[in-house]
Amino acid sequence: MLEFLKYLIYGWIILIVAIPVNFIAKEIGLITWYGFLVFKDSIGFLDVVFMFIVYPLILGASIGISRRFVLSRREATS
């Protein structure tokens, strides 16, 4: 059960980070996942770089940072 809760929290973190990242991307004119799936013909080089390199790096970093925070809190309480 504790493992399930950990993955649920990681999912929330990804969601909390993904929402503003998608908003910022849209504001600066980059295509987000919805646009990538719907408007396949109008995808530029920067859109591809954002979707397949920058976006996954940001989401992965959010999980890496949260895991460090969770592990450091666990060690502090031990």
Contact 14, 63 (CB under 8 A): yes
Higher pLDDT, 2 or 12: 12
| Percent of the chain scoring above 90 in pLDDT | 46
Domain ranges of the chain: 2-77
pLDDT digits (tens, 9 = 90+) for 12-31: 999 999 999 999 999 999 98
Instruction: Extract the tokens encoding 20.
Output: 């503003």
Instruction: Extract the tokens encoding 14.
Output: 């990804």
